[in-house]
Amino acid sequence: MTIFIPTPLRPYAGGKDSVEVSATTIAGALAELTAAHPELRKHLFNAEGKLRAFVNVYLNDEDVRYLPAKEATEVSAADTLSIIPSIAGGTGN
């Protein structure tokens, strides 16, 4: 499957905008990604090894957090995984 790397994380993925992995689950795909590019790990995961709160991961058009099997969801070669840090802000006033 293809994992799309967002702009801010490309420097930690050898400058690539996408990485091909052969894992069969989402968790496996992320593990394969961070094994190949260890510097990505701290940007994606917290100290407990869970995805950071502001990191969204989409399997095709589905938020992984809301999939029944979450990161244990099986994937195929045709699937895509998008890593999307959250976008928010405002004056707050």
Partner 1 sequence: MSVLRMTRAVFEAIRAHGEETYPHECCGALLGTSTDAGWAIASWGQAGNTRTDSAHNRYQIAPLELVKIEREARRQGLGIAGFYHSHPDHPAHWSTTDLEEAHWLGCAYVITAVAAGKATVTNSFLLAGSSEEDKRFEQQAIDVEEPG
Interface residues with partner 1 (CB under 8 A) are: 4, 6-8, 11, 17, 42-43, 52, 54-56, 58, 61, 63, 82, 84-93
d(CA 37, CA 18): 12
Judged by beta carbon, residue 74 or residue 86, the one nearer partner 1 is 86
Work out how close the CB of 53 gets to partner 1 at its nearest, in angstroms, rounded to a whole number. Answer: 10
The overall longest dimension of the chain from CA atoms, in Å, is 47
Nearer to partner 1, 36 or 55 (CB): 55
Nearest to 3 by CA among 63, 93, 26, 48: 26
